[in-house]
């Protein structure tokens, strides 16, 4: 009987931790959406990424994406 109680407690604790993590992810997503909406209302530069982009990508990923975009633009420019 005690073993079942411990298993139930352990399962509930894992469930609570999982639920807290899900809530934190939802809060972060809402925060990022709000940041992007404010950015779009206030300035929205067509040659920059949204603020959430910088929160969800590492510096290396950002550099790689920018490099690919430059190459794409240069290739497109050379075709014309």
Summarised one tens digit per residue, pLDDT across range 44-71 is 666 678 888 988 999 999 999 999 999 9
Quote the pLDDT of residue 80: 65
Quote the pLDDT of residue 6: 79
Quote the pLDDT of residue 23: 97
Provide, for the chain, the percentages of residues in helix, strand and coil under a 3-state DSSP scheme, each rounded to the nearest 5: 85, 0, 15
Tokens of 51: 């603020």
d(CA 65, CA 21): 29
d(CA 61, CA 73): 18
- CB neighbour list of residue 50: distance below 8 Å, 6 or more residues apart: 35, 36, 39, 40
Decide: pTM greater than 0.75. no
Summarised one tens digit per residue, pLDDT across range 27-45 is 999 999 999 998 888 876 6
């Amino acid at each position: 009987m005690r073993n079942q109680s411990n298993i139930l407690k352990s399962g509930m604790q894992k469930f609570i931790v999982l639920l807290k993590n899900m809530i934190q992810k939802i809060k972060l997503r809402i925060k990022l959406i709000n940041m992007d909406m404010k950015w779009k209302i206030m300035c929205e530069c067509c040659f920059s990424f949204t603020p959430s982009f910088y929160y969800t990508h590492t510096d290396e990923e950002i550099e790689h994406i920018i490099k690919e975009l430059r190459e794409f633009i240069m290739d497109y420019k050379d075709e014309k």
